Each structure stands twice: as structure tokens, then as C-alpha cells.
Structure 1
């Protein structure tokens, strides 16, 4: 059975995603994603599937899975019954890992754990007990506290003496093969053609399904109807464009695939709680605060011994500190 692709959305103002869900839930199926995942079961028993590994789980089951490794937890819950909170989840992407590797030499200690997670790593009761309070606090943590808790969790996992690899050495993940499944092919097509006229009937034909079957499968996979999903993707693209003043709001409306301005404004307000023009004004306010800070620094305003602001330059798609930009005073 081919696994489904889970679309993990990490907020722009956060480095990783932490959340919980109950049972049944739409992600409780055989699936994969490019992100690393730390998964803790807090309620129910059942079967855990990781790659070609199958075993039983109980509350306290703690597993870390690597990028594109298919996995699933199926609980022994009678039909019709629901569980409010079954598991806790942390997900973080390869780019975040790469940035940490580049920024913190100490992060090298995590490399072995990350490599092992590509087969799935299960941890024993002792490590699970140490992780759970950190996990619970992390659910509601904000700001730097999130980073502290996340790093503390990794420190516990790196030092664990009760870990076990799950998938066999011969098991190889093949995300290119997974992406060839019908729904994932459709999602990829949507992402590449947002500015085009996207019709559910055309995507159903692309997936080789009837419209009704495709509609049910799409909603089960993404958690939302086809039109709502396409609108959300278009709004996300519009937000990126609104951060630049090169295009007017009207131009952006048509470039992201909306066919009239009033519908674009309505959908943007629904998704973001503000109009596109107000979103852009907030970005200008953010830019203005930076400019005002630069001007104050040039005048010598501010508290003595305050931190220096070192200008950065963009080079080959990465932000680097400009050479000679800072000098001691």
C-alpha cells in the first residue's frame, strides 16, 4: 500500500511545529512527510507501523521518524468512540536542521540520532518519562522557551540508553515513488499551477478517478474541500508577493489565480483576518521600524553600550554578515 503525503505547515514565526490530536484523526493513516517527527502516545493501545516494522504500542510509546519514512499508529478503540488527545507530535524540517548544523557546532552531537531516525527509533519507558513533561509544556510555550524545551528534548534523546531501531536495514524509502500516487500527483500539480484555472473535474481526471471519488479522497487527505485548499494555497502565495511593492494588489490577485478582486479580498480576509492592503501596510510598518532604528543609530541615539546592529547582505540566496560592516568603538 502506497503511503499518503502529509503536508506539514510550520508557521512563519516558528522553527518547528508542535501539536496534539485525538483518535480517530485524518492523519491516522499510512503516510510520510519530508520532516523529522518525534511522536509520543499518551492514550490507547494498538499497533505501530514504521517502514517494514510492526509492533504493539501502549501509552508512553515514544518514536522518532526521519524524512519520508512511512508510519502510522492504529489504536484499539471501539467503532464510534473517540479519544480527545491520543498523541503529542513535534515536526521539524531538513532546512531547520541544516541551519542548526551551520550555526551550532554542538549540534553535531545530534547527527547520529538524525541518521538513525531514517529507520525509525523507539525509546524505552525511562526516556519517555523524561520527555513527556517537556512535551506537554512545549505545547503552549512561546518565544525562546520553545527553543529551550526543544533542545532539552533532543538532549534527552541523544543521551538515551534505551533506544531501538525499527525498520530493517534493507528497507529503503522512495519518496519519488510515493509522489506518484494519485492524490500526491494532484497536489503537486496544484502547487505548480496556482495561477491557472484549476477545476476539480480536471484534477479528478488527472488522478484517474470520478469527481465524487476524487472529492472524497481529497478531503480525507487534506482535511478540506478542493476549492478551500486551492484558495488557501493561493492566499499563501499572495502573502509572499505582498511583502514586495513591485506588484499592485490587483496584479497579485490575478497572478495567484483569482478571477476577480472582490473574491480575492473576501478570501484573504477570511484566511488572514485582514485585507491584502492592510497586510501590506503592516509589512511597511515593520520595514519602517527598521529604518527608524538605522536612523537613530546613525545619530548616536539610544542607551550607552547598547548592542550594535550589524548590516547584512544577501548572497547566493543566503543572508550573510557583510565584511567590514562592524567596527569596534
Structure 2
């Protein structure tokens, strides 16, 4: 049975830690007032940060600054035989105060904080060492917990990384009216993504003029309606590629709402940086690993 599991936890503590092992990630776009670090130790799927998507697998490590929209998705273990596991670690801005970062001993963390003007994706070569450092944070309390978080961040700061440019026009919290509207349009897309659904179709579903709808959608989610729909369809295709190994890629294109195999290839490459065939091969090789 497919298990929906969202990467969302209490923000009442300055540091919160989750060690997870689940059948499937079915997250919704959300943001936090804290920093969020997500490390994937097993499984594969798709992450989204702002309007940018990428594929994740074992060893993926992303550090997201506060107030940036993000989400994670993976397929169902019932069909693929694989689970998704890893660690989510959140910490407040106050853990890295400017007075602390100005100390000469904090040079590595100072440089890391500068890079965090945008989310960071790291290349992890020694996963065992990283997991040991992260687990030490969970096992600690009080001042020692903060100290061990700083030690873990010092290790992460030494890793090769790249920024994920995630444009967001609006970072304010949604009002109840806007929240209800965006939930309605999300449901509309989920119910009709296999069909041709134009921007005008979605605008009519919300009872809005097309131009006003376009402004509302971009202001609220930080991306265009067309980008959101294509991102959604790519996620569906990625799930089918991992879960339905006997399904042909042309059929996956149709089931995901793409009008042609060429369209699937173009959008998959654009948004995940790889081809459907390469994604399936990587997912299957991970599932078969001892």
C-alpha cells in the first residue's frame, strides 16, 4: 500500500531531527522559518525547490535556507520493492548568529552561510562519515547538541556543492483566500493532468480571468502555471519509471500527460538533467544493490 509521508515536523525546537524509513514520500510544496537539511541514504525520486526540479538518489544532500518553497516525492515500495530512507535536520537562524560566525575559527561556516543565499546541493563521497556526524546531533542534548550540529555543518562545508537557483517572487505567507484558491487549482491539475489542460482551463476552474490567474499563480508559487504542470507530469513519469519496470516509456509518456515521447524526453531532460532511460536504469540498479 502506498504510504504518503511529508517532510514536515515541529519547529518548536531550535534543532529538530528525523531519521526516516518510509514506503513513499508524497510531499507538498511548503516552506519553513528554519534551515532544512535533507540527506537521502536510500531510495530515489524527485525534489523540487522553487520552480527547479532534480532527481535524488542515495547520497543526495540538500541544505535549504528559510522561507524557500520545496518538496520531495518518491514512488511506492509496493511496486518497486524499495523504500526511501534518510535524515531531515532543521535548525533555526539563531544557531548561527553573526557574532559567532565572525570568530576566526568559524571561517568554514562563515563561507557556508554566504553560499546559503540559495539552496545548496552537495556531493557526498563518504556517506558513513556524514551519517555518523548527523546522528551525533540526534543523540545529544542542550549545548552539546548545538556544538555537534556545528561540527556536522563544518564537515558539510568542506564538501563540493552547487547552488540551486530557485526564483521566488513572493515569500509572504498565504492568506486563507489565496490558500483555498491554490489548493483548488492543485486539485484541478491532479485530476486532469493526463488531459490537455491549458492556462485558460485552470483560470475558468477558479472563476478568474486568464491574465489575473497567471499573475496570481506566479505570485503565489513562484513559477508559471505551465512550469508547474510540466513539473507535476515529470514527477508522475519518474514514479512510473521506478515503479512500473515493465511499462514502456511511450506508455509512461501517455500516462503522465505528455502528448508524445519527444515531449517527455524534452521536459525530463530540462527539469531533471537526465533522460527517462537513464533515470530508470539508475533507479533499477539501486533497487538491485545488496
Q: Deviations over 1:162-188 (max 9, x none)?
A: 2111125xx135221xx1253897xxx
**Correspondence list, 1:197-216, <5 A:** none
* Structure 2 counterpart of 1:314: none
**Shift in Å at residue 68 of structure 1?**
0.7
Tell me, in whole angstroms, the C-alpha distance in 1 between the residues paired with 2:26 and 2:100: 30
* Structure 2 counterpart of 1:89: 88
Asked whether the 8 Å contact 2:25–2:84 carries over to 1, the reply is no
Q: Within the alignment, does 1:174 sit opposite 2:176 as a pair?
A: no
Residue of 8, 11, 22 corresponding to 1:9? 11
Between 1 and 2, higher relative CO (CA 8 Å, sep ≥ 6) is seen in: 2
Tell me, in whole angstroms, the C-alpha distance in 2 between the residues paired with 1:23 and 1:183: 33
Cα 1:141–1:83 shift into 2, 3 Å = farther
**Correspondence list, 1:208-247, <5 A:** none
Tell me, in whole angstroms, the C-alpha distance in 1 between the residues paired with 2:161 and 2:70: 18
* Structure 1 counterpart of 2:273: none
* Structure 2 counterpart of 1:40: 39
Tell me, in whole angstroms, the C-alpha distance in 1 between the residues paired with 2:25 and 2:45: 17
Q: Deviations over 1:270-313 (max 9, x none)?
A: xxxxxxxxxxxxxxxxxxxxxxxxxxxxxxxxxxxxxxxxxxxx
Tell me, in whole angstroms, the C-alpha distance in 2 between the residues paired with 1:117 and 1:76: 30
Asked whether the 8 Å contact 1:69–1:118 carries over to 2, the reply is no
Q: Give 5+ residue unaligned stretches, structure 1.
A: 186-206, 214-329
**Correspondence list, 1:1-329, <5 A:** 8-11=10-13, 15-23=14-22, 28-78=27-77, 86-98=85-97, 101=100, 104=103, 106-107=105-106, 109-126=108-125, 128-160=127-159, 162-168=160-166, 171-172=167-168, 174-176=170-172, 179-182=173-176
* 1:31 alignment partner, SS class: coil
Tell me, in whole angstroms, the C-alpha distance in 2 between the residues paired with 1:51 and 1:138: 28
Q: Deviations over 1:65-107 (max 9, x none)?
A: 0011111111122468998872211111123323763785644
Tell me, in whole angstroms, the C-alpha distance in 1 between the residues paired with 2:109 and 2:169: 21
Asked whether the 8 Å contact 2:38–2:86 carries over to 1, the reply is yes
Per the normalisation by structure 2, the TM-score is 0.50
Tell me, in whole angstroms, the C-alpha distance in 2 between the residues paired with 1:35 and 1:27: 21
Cα 1:63–1:26 shift into 2, 3 Å = closer
- The count of residues paired between Structure 1 and Structure 2 equals 178
**Shift in Å at residue 122 of structure 1?**
0.8
Per the normalisation by structure 1, the TM-score is 0.45
* Structure 2 counterpart of 1:222: none
* Structure 1 counterpart of 2:280: none
Asked whether the 8 Å contact 1:131–1:153 carries over to 2, the reply is yes
**Shift in Å at residue 128 of structure 1?**
4.4
Tell me, in whole angstroms, the C-alpha distance in 2 between the residues paired with 1:140 and 1:83: 27
Q: Give 5+ residue unaligned stretches, structure 2.
A: 1-5, 185-290
Higher Cα Rg: structure 1 or 2? 1
